Structure 1
Amino acid sequence: MSTVLSVKKREAGHRSTLTQLRKGGAIPAVIYGYSLDSTPISISEKEFRKSIQKNGQNGVFSMELDGKKVNVVVSEIQQCSMKDEVNHIDFLAINMSEVIESEVPIKLVGESVGISVGGILMQPNLDVKIKVKPADIPEAIEVDITELKIGETITVADIRDKIEFDIISENDHTLVTIMAPAVVDEETADIAQE
Structure 2
Amino acid sequence: MATQLTAARRPETKQSVTKKLRREGTIPAVIYGKKTESQPISVDNVTFLKTIREAGKNGIIDLTIEGENKKHQVIVHDMQVDSIKDYFIHVDFFEVDMTSEMEADVAVHLEGEAPGEKDGGVVSHMMFNITVSALPAEIPDSISVDISTLNVGDSIQVADLPEGLNYTITSEPEETIVTVLVPEEEPEEPGEEEAEEPELVDADEESEEGSEEGSNDNNNS
Q: What TM-score does the superposition give when structure 1 sets the normalisation length?
A: 0.90
* Corresponding residue for residue 115 of structure 1: 117
Residue number in structure 2 paired with 1:86: 88
Letter in 2 for 1:138: P
**1:145 corresponds to 2:147:** yes
Which structure would you say has the larger RCO, counting Cα contacts within 8 Å and 6 or more residues apart?
1
Partners of 2:61 and 2:81 lie apart in 1 by 20
Any idea what SS the aligned residue of 1:166 has? strand
Native 8 Å contact 2:2 2:55 kept in 1: no
Residues 69-104 of structure 1: per-residue CA shift (max 9 Å, x gap): 010011111111112211111110011111111111
* Mapped partners of 1:125, 1:137: distance in 2: 18
Shift of 1:12: 4.4
Q: Tell me, yes or no, if structure 1 residue 33 matches structure 2 residue 33.
A: yes
Within a 5 Å distance, the mapping from 1:70-109 to structure 2 comes to: 70-109=72-111
- Counterpart CA distance in 1 for 2:188 and 2:90 is 51
Which amino acid is the alignment partner of residue 47 of structure 1?
A: T
SS at match of 2:173: coil
Residue number in structure 2 paired with 1:192: none
Q: Secondary structure at the match of 1:75?
A: strand
Structure 2 distance, partners of 1:28, 1:54, is: 21
Provide structure 1 residue ranges, at least 5 long, that are not aligned to the other structure.
Answer: 189-194
Gaps in structure 2 of 5+ consecutive residues: 191-221
Structure 1 match to 2:3: 3
Once the two structures are overlaid, the 10-residue window that deviates more, 123-132 or 178-187, is 178-187
State the distance in 1 between where 2:112 and 2:82 align: 33
SS at structure 2 position matched to 1:79? strand
Residue in structure 1 matched with residue 53 of structure 2 by the alignment: 53
RMSD: 1.5
Q: Which of residues 117, 127, 130 in structure 2 aligns to 1:128?
A: 130
Shift of 1:133: 0.7
The residue type equivalent to 1:45 in the other structure is N
The structure number with the bigger radius of gyration is 2
Deviation, 1:162, is 4.3
Distance in 2 (alpha carbons) for counterparts of 1:114 and 1:163: 28
**How many residues in Structure 1 have an aligned counterpart in Structure 2?**
187
Q: 1:53 aligns to what SS in structure 2?
A: helix
**2:158 paired residue number:** 156
Deviation at 1:11, TM superposition (A): 2.1
Cα deviation code 1:8-37 (max 9, x no counterpart): 110242211111111111111111004310
Deviations 1:136-174 (A, max 9, x none): 111111111111111111111111x44332111111222
Question: What SS does the corresponding residue of 1:186 show, helix, strand or coil?
Answer: coil
Contact 2:2 2:60 in 1 (8 A): no
CA distance in 1, matches of 2:2, 2:146: 31
Q: Please, which moves more after superposition, 112-121 or 83-92?
A: 112-121
Tell me the amino acid that sits aligned with residue 21 of structure 2: L
How far 1:116 sits from its partner (Å)? 2.5
Instruction: Tell me the secondary structure at the aligned position of residue 8 of structure 1.
Output: strand
Whole-Å Cα distance in 2 between the matches of residues 150 and 90 of structure 1? Answer: 42
Distance 2:173 2:59 in 1: 26
